[in-house]
Amino acid sequence: MMRLEIPKLMAIAGLGLLAGCVATVDPSTVGTGSKGEITKFELAADVLGESTLVPGQRPPLDSLEGSLWMQIDSAEHRIKSSGHVIRNPALNKYVRGVVCKMAGKFCPHIRTYIVRAPNFNALMMPSGVMQIHSGLLLRVRNEAELASVIGHEIGHYIRLHSRDRWRNLIDTTNAVMVAKMVMAAAGVPGSSQLIDSIAAGSLAAYSRDHERESDVVGLRLLVKNGYDPWAAQNVWVQLERERQFTKQNPFRSTFLDSHPSGIERAGNLGALARFAEKHSKKKDRGKRRFEDAVIPLRETMLRDELNHRDYKRFRGLLAMLIRNGRKVGVFHFFRGESFRLQGGEGNLDKAMLSYRNAAARSETPVIVYRAMARVLAKQGKKAAARKAFGRYLEKSPDAEDREIIEVIMDGLS
């Protein structure tokens, strides 16, 4: 029986067998359509009933697919015991509710894990394991946008995309082996790399078709459950706006990329939404429900993002969160933290401005005063630093670092 090591499993995930969802979008072309544009779809059809999936049905253990499932089972076991899983009961209950709303009759067969990972991603495994990254929860603005991503992943699950991609991978691998032997026997120079490139492009194209199909399934589920049909497109536009602040190179290879271009994806989703809003009465966004569930964990999520130290991108993200959110004091605080940690000429003054904006809001964490004191101390403003430290201890009488802060304050006398 063939067994796959974990690195191999991760490589398969990279090819799109375990699908995640991030793409680049050009806002100037959103809604204009593209090659393969879909302008309408059947709103009344039972998208879940169309699936041939039999939940819980496992492939034989001695098959190639069975080997994949064994690796996925092992991965799920590690996820369950991982310290990176967010176990907050209220948040898990909320996210589970959205998953079940979108998955319908398949809900009992889906196990959802919220993973503490500061990037926008979700993935669905063929065994029914769904992962939702904390970075996704930080970036989507309402329940409808969260549901759009969840619906996309459910699309992969009910349309058996992981199974089909796995089989295609095996068939392609076998074909590559035969082609290489034939070309080697014919003495064709450089044929091995050419064959590998063609095979990789074929796998990527196959994956892109699945992404397109899951986008349609996800939007149909969105409309079926009364959500705003524009939520799916909005997610991609927001991601591109954030990407404009990143230092990473957004270069994409159309031939080898396993996801459709952002231009195509946003165009198709916009066309679908435009059609759907004419035929659906409900346009629920669920903004308050979403915020009530996520806000208690937001500080931890922001700290994880800050630890990446991509300060320009982080501040771009914060600007969007400030513009679209409520209880925004924490965003101003972390904006100050980004300037303080980045350092450099003028950044300490910018940090203080952000801290003051944060301190003016009642929901801001009390550690803002400790942060202000650190900056003031660096600037040589000892009296002001002592005052800020004192305010911190006053508002946080049981602070674990009280003794350390008192020692520092003595040194500022």
The Cα 159–Cα 40 span in angstroms is 20
Give the highest mean pLDDT range of 173-182, 244-253, 398-407: 398-407
Q: How many residues does the chain have?
A: 413
Exposure pattern of 163-197 as b/e (b: 16+ CB <10 Å)? Answer: bbbbebbeebeeebeebbeebeeeeeeeeeeebee
**Residues 266 and 354 occupy one common structural domain:** no
Given this model, what pLDDT does residue 187 score?
Answer: 47
Given this model, what pLDDT does residue 347 score?
Answer: 96
**Residues 315 and 203 occupy one common structural domain:** no
> Any idea what DSSP says for residue 58?
P
Q: Which domain holds residue 15?
A: 6-276
On the question of pLDDT at 195 being above 50, the answer is: no
Rounded to 5 degrees, φ, ψ at 284 are -70, 135
Given this model, what pLDDT does residue 166 score?
Answer: 57
**DSSP-assigned beta bridge partners for residue 115:** 85, 133
At residue 246 the predicted structure's pLDDT band, cuts being 50, 70 and 90, is confident
On the question of pLDDT at 8 being above 50, the answer is: no
Could you tell me the CATH number of the domain that includes residue 323?
1.25.40.10
Q: Hey, how many other C-beta atoms are within 10 angstroms of the C-beta on 252?
A: 13
The Cα 37–Cα 212 span in angstroms is 10
Q: What is the mean pLDDT of residues 384-413?
A: 93
**Residues 223 and 268 occupy one common structural domain:** yes
**Residues 107 and 231 occupy one common structural domain:** yes
**Share above pLDDT 70 across residues of the chain, in percent, rounded to a whole number:** 73
Angstrom CA distances, 283 to 224, 270, 273, 286, 404, stand at: 11, 15, 11, 9, 53
On the question of pLDDT at 7 being above 80, the answer is: no
DSSP per-residue string spanning 296-350: GGHHHHHHHHHTT--HHHHHHHHHHHHHH-SSTHHHHHHHHHHHHHH-STTHHHH
**Residues 272 and 378 occupy one common structural domain:** no
At residue 17 the predicted structure's pLDDT band, cuts being 50, 70 and 90, is very low
Residue 286 domain-assigned?
no
Residue 1 domain-assigned?
no
At residue 197 the predicted structure's pLDDT band, cuts being 50, 70 and 90, is very low
**Residues 265 and 392 occupy one common structural domain:** no
Tokens of 36: 């393969």
Given this model, what pLDDT does residue 176 score?
Answer: 41
On the question of pLDDT at 47 being above 50, the answer is: yes
Residue bearing the bigger pLDDT, 70 or 17: 70
On the question of pLDDT at 44 being above 70, the answer is: no
Residue 299 domain-assigned?
no
Number of domains the chain contains: 2
On the question of pLDDT at 52 being above 70, the answer is: yes
∠ at Cα 38 (34, 42), nearest 5°?
Answer: 170
| Domain final residue, candidates 236, 258, 276 | 276
Residue 287 domain-assigned?
no
Tokens of 341: 């940690």
On the question of pLDDT at 374 being above 50, the answer is: yes
**Residues 158 and 246 occupy one common structural domain:** yes
Given this model, what pLDDT does residue 21 score?
Answer: 54
Closest Cα to residue 17, out of 218, 161, 199, 217?
Answer: 161
Residue 206 domain-assigned?
yes
Residue 128 domain-assigned?
yes
Residue bearing the bigger pLDDT, 411 or 280: 411
Which of these ranges, 88-102, 204-218, 291-305, 316-330, has the smallest mean pLDDT?
204-218
Residue 26 domain-assigned?
yes
Closest Cα to residue 320, out of 409, 208, 404, 238?
Answer: 238
At residue 20 the predicted structure's pLDDT band, cuts being 50, 70 and 90, is low
On the question of pLDDT at 158 being above 60, the answer is: yes
At residue 207 the predicted structure's pLDDT band, cuts being 50, 70 and 90, is low
**Residues 241 and 318 occupy one common structural domain:** no
Given this model, what pLDDT does residue 167 score?
Answer: 52
At residue 311 the predicted structure's pLDDT band, cuts being 50, 70 and 90, is very high
CA 64, chain centre distance (Å): 30
Q: What is the mean pLDDT of residues 64-82?
A: 81
**Residues 332 and 246 occupy one common structural domain:** no
Mean pLDDT (the chain) is 78
Residue 297 domain-assigned?
no
Q: What is the mean pLDDT of residues 337-342?
A: 96
On the question of pLDDT at 137 being above 90, the answer is: yes
At residue 209 the predicted structure's pLDDT band, cuts being 50, 70 and 90, is confident
| Domain final residue, candidates 257, 276, 295 | 276
Q: What is the mean pLDDT of residues 289-308?
A: 95
Closest Cα to residue 235, out of 306, 134, 149?
Answer: 149
**Residues 94 and 133 occupy one common structural domain:** yes
**Residues 129 and 223 occupy one common structural domain:** yes
**Residues 309 and 269 occupy one common structural domain:** no
Q: Under a CB-based contact definition with an 8 Å cutoff, are residues 17 and 162 in contact?
A: yes
| Domain final residue, candidates 276, 296, 319 | 276
